[in-house]
Amino acid sequence: MNFDWQEYCSLATSLASPICNVGNEEARLRSAISRAYYGAFNRAKVRLLGGGYRPRGRDTHEQTILGIEQAGQKQAAAFLRRMKEARLWADYDEAPNVRLRELANKTLDEARSVLQAVN
């Protein structure tokens, strides 16, 4: 049985919960942003483009999001683009973000919308 990418979104929700006390809050929220993006991105890719879809070359994420847009899911593609930007910040930028919880919550909401659109 293939991995269910929605499990990443479930993990992200748990990590972003105010009652979660594993590790440091910033690390949890950054991880939640990253996992929410990957969960929604991969679920949409599999559902809309098929499990065998393998883009090649530079920026495979943008190619995949473009494919999702061309499959008629323009709003899901727009959410994924915004989530990707949040994920890039969360995974690579050392600068603090004073609105981190807000960004995490927005990313989780957008991930839920993408999942709803493709399920």
pLDDT band at 51 (very low <50, low <70, confident <90, very high): low
Give the domain ranges of the chain.
6-118
Note the CATH architecture for domain 6-118.
Answer: Up-down Bundle (1.20)
On the question of pLDDT at 11 being above 90, the answer is: yes
Q: Classify residue 46 as exposed, middle or buried by CB count within 10 Å of its CB (0-12, 13-18, 19+).
A: middle
Instruction: Give the C-alpha separation, 111 to 80, whole Å.
Output: 8
pLDDT of residue 57: 66
Q: Give the integer Cα–Cα distance in Å for 42 and 61.
A: 10
Q: What's residue 102's pLDDT?
A: 94
User: What Rg value do the Cα atoms of the chain yield, rounded?
Assistant: 14
Question: pLDDT tens-digit profile of 62-89?
Answer: 988 988 898 899 999 999 999 999 999 9
DSSP state of 23: S
Length reported for the chain: 119
Say how far apart CA 105 and CA 102 lie, in whole Å: 5
Minimum mean pLDDT range among 16-25, 73-82, 108-117: 16-25
